[in-house]
Chain A
Amino acid sequence: MPISDQELKQLLSDAKTMRHGFEMMVRQYSEQLYWLIRRMVLMHEDANDVLQNTFIKAWNGIENFHGDSKLATWLSRIAINESLDFLRKQKNNHLVSTDDQDAGIAQQLMSDDYFDGDEVEAQLQEAIAQLPDVQRTVFMLRYYDEKKYNEISKILGTSEGALKASYHIAVKKISEFFHQHD
């Protein structure tokens, strides 16, 4: 049974119930956050690592949450930042050029046990992965999570106008992918 944000915040604001409240928060939001992260980082093992780091960061920085936003918004912000940090480190660690790395994504996915899509879907994920980080994030949140622009604005701290522009560009680029594969 889902617990309300208010009840969770109450539990988290008392030292005696904080751990219990945090556990309930993890149970409530972990799956939602996992899929947000997974769509960014693609591989299950990486998504699992990033998700765990997200909650550790949330735990260590719990005093920075003042209850003035939704818990989902706060956690999503941490998850997205952790995902982007992971992707940047991954890019820096790769010895091959960026183009080669992106070209290998479809192949990596096809050989991944936890990817059920066909070749076209793998190539689509590669096209999404080629988007700049912010565009990719906005696209994920808008298209897959169906979040409203004002919600995305609170998560990313970006104006709605800039978000709409980012999404518009992302949709255009992905549409071009489909035209190329027709």
Chain B
Amino acid sequence: MHVKEKKDMNNEEIIMKTRMGKKNPFRVPEGYFDNLTAQVMDRLPEDSGKKVVTMKPSLIVRLRPVLYVAACLFIAVLSFAVYLDKTGEGSEEQMMAEQVPSYESNFEDVADYVMVDNYEIYACLTND
């Protein structure tokens, strides 16, 4: 609502309250409210059966199962994440260990292919 509209609204409400007030022009027969409760209760059926107000449990009680499940899931996810983190380091080492033998075996295959012995390799490496 714009400021002018709010101001107009407030003015109109003020005028209304000034002119109208909150006077109650209605009235009731004498003693009406004194007898009202008894009249109402007399009109009610004798027994409403087994119907009663069924109180809903408080919000926290209703949410408790959901919170339990959420907590369990959180712990499970956290544990799995920790597990993955630890096994991840092991697998890297394992991969490196696998690579070394394959590297070594490849070198040996090459060395056999060129029919070069260890003395000659050493000599080659130390030669300027």
Contacts and interface: CB of A to CB of B under 8 A. Distances in A.
B65 interface: no
B30 to A, nearest CB: 11
Contact of A9 (B32, B43, B50, B55): B55
Nearest to B6: A168
A115 B53 CA distance: 38
Contacts of A35: 24, 26
B26 A115 contact: yes
A114 B26 CA distance: 6
Given A59-B44, A60-B48, A168-B9, A116 B25 contact: yes
Interface of A: 9, 12-15, 18-19, 22-23, 26-27, 30-31, 34-35, 38-39, 42, 44, 48, 51-52, 55-56, 59-60, 62-63, 65-68, 109, 114-117, 121-122, 124-125, 143-144, 164, 168, 171-172, 174-175, 178
Contacts of A30: 33, 36-37, 40
B45 interface: yes
A13 B53 contact: yes
B56 interface: yes
A66 B12 contact: no
Given A31-B33, A178-B15, A63 B51 contact: yes
Contact of A66 (B33, B43, B51, B54): B54
Nearest to A144: B22
Nearest to B19: A178
A39 B20 contact: no
A52 B26 contact: no
Contacts of A12: 52-53
Contacts of B29: 44, 114
A42 B28 CA distance: 11
28 contacts: A13-B55, A15-B50, A15-B52, A18-B52, A23-B37, A26-B36, A30-B40, A35-B24, A52-B43, A55-B44, A56-B43, A63-B53, A66-B55, A67-B54, A114-B26, A114-B28, A114-B29, A115-B25, A115-B27, A121-B23, A122-B25, A125-B25, A143-B22, A168-B9, A171-B9, A172-B12, A174-B16, A175-B12
A114 B52 contact: no
Contact of B53 (A56, A67, A172): A67
B26 A65 contact: no
Interface in B78-120: none
B40 A52 contact: yes
A93 B51 CA distance: 35
A125 B45 CA distance: 36
A63 B52 contact: yes
Interface in B1-22: 1, 9, 12-13, 15-16, 19-20, 22
Contacts of B39: 52
